[in-house]
Amino acid sequence: MHEFATVYKPYNYQIISAKGRLPVTTTTEPIIVHSIINGEKVLTEKRIPRENPSNGKEIVGYAPFNTKEETVAAIEAAYEAFGKWKWVPVEERIERMRRAIEKIKSAIPELSRLLSREHGKPLYDSEGEFAVSLMWMEFACDNAKEVLQQTVKEHEKGKTIITYDPIGVVSAITPWNYPISLSTIKIAPALLAGNTMVLKPSPFAPLTVSKVAEMISSEFPPGVLNLVHGEAEVGVELTSNPKVAKIAFTGGTKTAKSIMKAASETIKKLTLELGGNDAAIILKSFDVNDERAMRRLVISNFLTAGQICMIAKRVYVHRSIYDQFVEKYIEAANKWIRVGNPFNPNVTIGPVNNAGQVKYVQSLVDDAESRGAEVIKLGTIIDPEIFDQGNFMQPTLVLGCDYNDPIVVEEQFGPTVPILTFDDEEQVIALHNESIYGLTSSVWGNEEDAVRIARRIEAGTTMINTAAVQGLDVRFPFGGVKQSGVGREYGVEGILSYTETHVINIPTVLDLPYIPE
């Protein structure tokens, strides 16, 4: 049994320790993945190389580069398959998904290593991503029948039947930071609800998700789950084709605005999980000597090298405990942060996924320093011989920023975090809520005080004394407010978001007296 199984239930994610692992050997031979259109693997003339973020000279593998015509073919296949798939009983859909889950479970050792090679995240983090992905897929299977069953309401005027019907063809466009979980979060509920899908992963992490999609697709009829890769013209077709009924997108707010415009032409349904500039609010009641809590906070800032939409990206600390807090935070960070090869069992943070992201994050840090902020390097580089070969960044703490500095108001999406002070609750609530984003947030301190403040925060999720994936529970809905998104994923709502509510009225009183003869 794989290590993650010890934390597999009850559908909540936990950080798996990297301590005590044996080094894992991994092949350096490039792999080739394929598109899947109508159940068939499709080779393309042009391919997209994916480099190892730990070593830019190594090609991990090649993904297809699909054309607009191939994308149209995938949509057509999904459209044709929907006509039959929507009538398949939910019990059969669940059974097929459970078989796919078992296939994925059996391949986790191989898939986790591939994910670490192409993404850069440490092996424990890759295994953790598969853990949360499978938790959600099993939750969806466990609950789909009950959630999707029709309800019948009898009343004085007759009877009303409410059904939850599939929408049609779903375009799923997913990002590179958590490619498995942010794909399965869409695949499982969409297919269980009777929809068909065309999935497009990011070119920055296309390999492992393609393997997973192939495993799932093989358990379903041809055309139910299709897979394409590519760039702008593929994305445009997936968001504008009239046969696409819904778009499920996780990514940047700027891209989402273009998607919304494209979707408006045919009024497509949308689920958009977008960026966030999630704040952690540290109350004066927070115990700075609580080492476990401080470690949770450090992890909430730097897990996956800070490349998580729901990670805590700015920290506000009550002025009365600021100096002690910073001292203890640095101490905790230096204990936990160990940068290096993702396959080194002692490493907690690997490279940043791509060179463009390194450049962007470093520009924010440099800008803050130029404005007079203090930049403190955190942790230890334990594989210095490879540090300059890849997209490595040593995590940094930034002190003395202004509330309106770019590193505070923009989403860094990398291994740096600013810490700022506040004086009272009204001030910190205002500082939090003035952001255009509202994905997640966290409040740390006495529970009663923390919950009181949480109720006034504008966010889709607020966690108390924990943050980011450490507090994620797939049983409950997840999504953002304001420019952090539209709709919800996970939970019952995440299943129902792939359905249309259909009301069938059967009145017994047919003569309505208020309508004139």
H or E element, residue 188: helix 181-192
CA distance 219 to 85: 13
Using CB atoms within 10 A of its CB, is residue 83 exposed (0-12), middle (13-18) or buried (19+)? exposed
- Other C-beta atoms lying within 10 Å of the C-beta of residue 423: 10
Nearest CA to 334 out of 296, 377, 386 is that of: 377
Do residues 421 and 381 lie in contact, with contact meaning Cβ atoms separated by under 8 Å?
Answer: no
- What DSSP state is assigned to residue 372? T
Pick the catalytic residue from 70, 129, 309, 489.
309
- Other C-beta atoms lying within 10 Å of the C-beta of residue 300: 28
Q: Which residues contact 288 (CB under 8 A, 6 or more apart)?
A: 294, 321, 324, 325, 327, 328
The packing angle between helices 123-148 and 90-106, to 10°, is 170
Phi, psi of 62 (to 5 degrees): -130, 135
**Judging by DSSP bridges, how do beta strands 269-273 and 279-282 pair with one another?**
unpaired
Rounded-to-5 percentages of helix, strand, coil across the chain:
40, 20, 35
CA distance 297 to 280: 8
Q: Which two tokens stand for residue 68?
A: 């607009």
What secondary structure, in 3-state letters, does 228-250 show? CCCCHHHHHHHHHCCCEEEEEEE
Separation in Å, CA 142 to CA 94, 148, 501: 8, 12, 21
Q: Is the N-terminal amide bond of 351 cis, ω within 30° of 0?
A: no
Query: Is 273 noted as a catalytic residue in this protein?
Result: yes
Pick the catalytic residue from 76, 129, 138, 273.
273
Q: Which two tokens stand for residue 8?
A: 């597999």
Separation in Å, CA 317 to CA 176, 224, 280, 407, 431: 32, 50, 8, 17, 12
Q: Which residues are catalytic?
A: 273, 309
